[in-house]
Structure formats: structure tokens, C-alpha cells
Amino acid sequence: MKTVQVRNITLGEGRPKICVPIVAETKETIREKAEEISKLPVEVVEWRADFYEDIFVEGKLEEILSMLRMILKNQALLYTFRSADEGGHRLVEKETYYQLNERAAGSGLVDLIDVEAFMDEDSTAAVSY
């Protein structure tokens, strides 16, 4: 099995890794949950951006990611926007979905991005994260 190094953990070896999600609608609640999780022995924190009420407001994605990185320090951060079509919380147009993923990747603040491969296979394969 191949391994992948993400911050201070190696995925694909040893015991299974613990991933805890942050599922919240407001910046304050996201902050509170991140502060609680930062004290736990978890390797990966997943931010479910599709639950955040201001996710489509310009600059808010980067604001939240910056805040999370400061709080979580060296814990690996997984960014996920799950569309309603894939069981997520919000409807999103394909173009907006890919723009959000590219902005998250371009921020340099996330370690992993959960991409919906079935959203549009050609676009998923072409994105240069």
C-alpha cells in the first residue's frame, strides 16, 4: 500500500487515523468547534464548508480557513464541500463548486480536499489543485 505524508501523520500505515468533522453554520460556531477539537488527539479535521451560511460570500472561505489553520496548528485540515446532489447541505452549480475547491487549494491553508469525482469527471480530472 502506498503511503502519503500529511503534516505530522502518514496515511496508509499504522493504525487507522481519526478524522473529526466541523459541521456548523456560523463563523463563531466553527471557531468553538475547532477550539474543542484542537485539544483532542485527532489526526485530521474535516471542515464541511457546505454547512457554512456565508460560504458563497467573497472572501469568507479564506477567512474561515485562515482561522481554522491558526486554531488547529499542525493538525491536518480536510476541506469538503458536499453538494446536495451528493448528500450535502447546499445546492451548488458545478462552476461554483470547482471555484470553491480551487480557492481552498490556492489558499495554501488546507492539506486535503475531498472532491466529488462524479460531479463532472472531465472537470475533476482537469483541475490543477
Q: What is the pLDDT of residues 32-73, one digit of tens each?
A: 999 999 999 999 999 999 999 999 999 999 999 999 999 999
**pLDDT confidence bin for 92, thresholds 50/70/90:** very high
Q: Is 4 left (phi over 0), alpha (psi -120 to 50) or beta?
A: beta
* Whether pLDDT at 125 is above 70: no
Q: 3-state DSSP call for residue 107?
A: helix
Task: Give the model's pLDDT for residue 119.
Answer: 65
**Cβ atoms within 10 A of the Cβ of 36, count?**
12
Answering whether pTM is above 0.85, one says yes
Give the residue, 18 or 116, on which the prediction is more confident.
18
Q: Which DSSP letter does residue 17 get?
A: P
Query: Which distant-in-sequence residues (6+ apart) come within 8 Å of 110 by Cβ?
Result: 65, 77, 78, 79, 104
Lookup: cell for 110? 488546507
